[in-house]
Amino acid sequence: MNQTQTRMDVTLRPASTADLEDLLSISRSCFPDHFRWQSRYLIGRKYWKVVLQSKASQTLVLQDRTGVFAFGVLVLDLMMWESEREQRNGTALTKMFAVLCCPVPAVWTKLLKHGVLRLVDRRQLLRGAGPRSGERPAWAELLAVLPRMHRQGFGAVLMSAFEREAVASQRSVIEAHVDFENTSSRRMCERQGFTLVSSGRRGGCLYRKSLLLCSG
C-alpha cells in the first residue's frame, strides 16, 4: 500500500525497519502482561526484525506529528507465516529463557493462570482458520494503539486498512483471534462487522468477516 492521510495530521503507511524502536515501544505499552514484550531478553526485537522482513505479512503504522502511535500486522499467507514461526518467536528454550528474564509480575501471574492453556487454545483456533476449500483467508495477527490514543477510532482505521489490503490481495475472508477478556478488541471486531465463529475452551475467540472481491 501507499501512504494515505486518514485525518488532518494522521498518516497511514507500511512500516519499515526504521520503525523498529517505535514498534517495540508500542508493543511494550499495549501488552503489559506478555513476556515477548516485557522480557529483558530481546525476543521482542527479534520478532519485529523477522516480521518487518516477512513476505507472509504486512505491517501498517499510524503516525501523527509526535510519531508512530499504532500498528497492525496483517498475514496474507498463513502457510508461510507458520513456517516462519521459529525464526519469529525463537525455540522453546529461547522462550523459556525470555520468561526467566522477565521482571514484570503480571507476566508471571498470567502465565501461571492460563498462559500455556491459552496457547493451546489459540493453536487449535488457528488450525481451524487454515485454508478451507475455496476460501483464501487473511489473518489480523496483531493490532495495537497507544493508550493515550484509544477510543478515537484508530483501531477501526487499521482494521479497515486490513480489509482493503486483503481484498487487493484477492483474499475472500479475514479472520482474527481475540481473548474473550479483551472486550475493547472484541467490540471493535464486532463493530467492524466481524462475526464470532468459534470460542476455544480456554477463552479464545475466532472472528471472521467475508470480503467482497471484485471480479474481472
Q: What is the DSSP letter of 149?
A: G
For ligand COA, the binding residues in 168-187 under the rule CB under 6 A are 178, 182, 184-185, 187
For ligand COA, the binding residues in 15-34 under the rule CB under 6 A are 30
Residue 191 · residue 151 · CB < 8 Å: no
Q: What is the DSSP letter of 169?
A: T
Nearer to ligand COA, 61 or 178 (CB): 178
Position 142 contacts ligand COA (CB under 6 A): yes
Residue 7 · residue 158 · CB < 8 Å: no
Q: What is the DSSP letter of 213?
A: P
Position 119 contacts ligand COA (CB under 6 A): no
Q: What distance in Å separates the CA atoms of residue 17 and residue 197, rounded to the nearest whole number? A: 35
Q: In one letter, which amino acid is 76?
A: L
Nearer to ligand COA, 97 or 128 (CB): 128
Nearer to ligand COA, 170 or 184 (CB): 184
Position 144 contacts ligand COA (CB under 6 A): yes
Residues forming a β-bridge with 211: none
Kindly list the residues in this chain that would bind ligand COA in the complex (CB under 6 A): 30, 142-145, 150-156, 178, 182, 184-185, 187-188, 191
